[in-house]
Amino acid sequence: MTVMARPWRRLSPTGRIVVPLLVLLVLLGLLGFVGLVTGLIPGLVDLVIRLAQANVGIVRFVIAVTAILLISIPIAFINGYAELKVIALMQSRIGPNRVGPFGTLQAVFHGFKMLAKEDFTPLGADRPAFTLAPVVVFLTVVLSFLVIPFAPGLFGADLNVGLLYFFAVGGLSVVGLLMAGWSSFNKYSLLGGLRSAAQIVSYEIPLTLSVVGTMSLNGIVEAQGGQFWHWYVFQQPLGFAIFFIAVSAEANRTPFDLTEADSEIVAGYMTEYSGMRFGFFYFAEYVSLFVISALTAVLFLGGWHAPVEIHAVAAFFGLTVPAVSLDPGQLGVGLLLLLTLGPLVGTLVFTVPVALWRTDWSIWRALLVGFLLFNVAVGALITIYAYVASEVVAGVFWFLAKTFTLVLVFIWIRTTLPRVRVDQLMAFAWKWLLPAALLNIFVTAAAIVVLR
């Protein structure tokens, strides 16, 4: 033991990380070699492939859930940074500009700050409910991703009752908010939980009535194909207005953020939360912002469809859009030369104008900028080719463009409008939105009967 401990103590901190990793790498290499020689690894791979083929539905579900969990946190950080920066610009402030380029890492370090804070549970709290409440709220938001179609064939599950599933899962968030408010043993938290129950239940009714029709989200998007005037926002403007207002209240967005009104009830249901349990509420709010924007884009703005169908426009003028296909294997040796000499030649091509423009820079600085510009140009060309050659990439582009445009609209509303009173909130739902939703249903039904 002494023979091993003495060299270990003499290692630097970096060595104490590198040496175990090297030992682990050697062990894994030996195990891999033995597995290949004995046929154990090929047998395991074949077994996994056969099991995956026999359970395609389960594998697709696991992959979809894993992908959703992986993208939900970056979405929360992007929306958090966008809200900080956009609100600052609208209020003639600078906003985050210290952590990362243009403050882009500010939201990330907010997350690290939550991880570092003490996770405190107040005396008298119902510990199981207090602990599970943020998990319930976060999971209801994340599970809503499963039925949202990002592009043709790119979705977690194509349910024929996808819209009903979305409303059912999203409505469960009120359970988590009530758990948080009741279990905190705090009157302000209890008021926030009760407000959330009243608000979400009240606005759930006009929200559901505003989109009565087919329940398949993929079917709704496909029905809006073609030109932008086929989108339901132009066919159902009243339904869009009702849905937009109701979904803002469902997601507790300003001016309907009565569940966490800091000027009245401190922070509502989140008053007693700290650390990462507060972080779950924080992340859920920003992921929910993306989810409601995505659902609005799917239901009323054509989903993954482009505003103008280029093939239809070309056919109108008697033109045809040529199909783009590229097979790198046809280049032969030219592909090898392109991969080896292309980055060097491209960097030099971009370096020359940079060096002529900034004569006070050193050659190494100009080369670095030229290399970055070359990578940006190559990335742009690859993106354009992928957009033209793949309808999935084009669909994802338009879906994300519409979704993040709506995110900016929600942020704009938060910056502009003041918070309403709780009595105004409830009266607006029952006295205005509900009658308007019913009127929209009757008018739409009458129009369908007359047209048929």
pLDDT of 449 > 70? The answer is: yes
Return the closest-CA partner of residue 296 out of 222, 210, 230. Answer: 210
Whether 92 shows a pLDDT value over 90: the answer reads: no
Two tokens at 232?
């339901």
* Distance separating the N- and C-terminal Cα atoms of the chain: 89
**Confidence band for 297, pLDDT divided at 50, 70 and 90:** very high
Amino acid at 231: W
Same domain, 282 and 429: yes
Are 272 and 346 members of one domain? no
- Judge if 270 and 210 occupy the same domain: yes
> Residue 293's pLDDT is what?
92
User: 143-164, pLDDT tens digit by residue?
Assistant: 888 888 888 877 877 778 888 8
For residue 5, tell me if it sits in a domain.
no
Q: Is residue 322 part of a domain?
A: no
| Average pLDDT score over residue span 106-111 | 78
> What would the pLDDT profile of 184-215 be if each residue is shown by its tens digit?
888 888 888 888 888 888 888 888 888 866 77
Residue 153's SS3 state is: coil
Query: Is the residue at 33 inside a domain?
Result: no
- The reply to whether 18 falls in a domain is no
**Shared domain check, 440 and 338:** no
Q: 368 and 261: one domain?
A: no
Whole-Å CA distances, 176 to 5, 170, 196, 270: 51, 11, 10, 11
Q: pLDDT of 28-66, one tens digit each? A: 888 877 777 777 777 787 787 887 777 777 777 777 778
The answer to whether residue 227 sits within a structural domain is yes
Residue at which a domain ends, from 389, 404, 439 = 389
Per the domain annotation, does 84 fall within a domain?
Answer: no
Domain total in the chain: 2
Let me know whether 131 and 269 are in one domain: yes
| 275 plus 334 within the same structural domain | no
Buried (b) or exposed (e) across 306-340, using 16+ Cβ within 10 A?
beeeeeeeeeeeeeeeeeeeeeeeeeeeeeeeeee
The reply to whether 156 and 208 lie within a common domain is: yes
Q: What is the pLDDT of residue 220?
A: 86
Look at residue 317 in the predicted model and tell me its pLDDT. Answer: 64
Domain presence at residue 20: no
In a domain, 176, yes or no: yes
Higher per-residue pLDDT: 48 or 295: 295
Burial of 34 (0-12, 13-18, 19+ CB in 10 A): exposed
Domain that holds residue 349: 328-389
Q: Point out which residues pair with 154 in neighbouring strands.
A: 151
pLDDT at residue 1 tops 60: no
Q: Rounded CA gap, 196 and 175, in Å?
A: 9
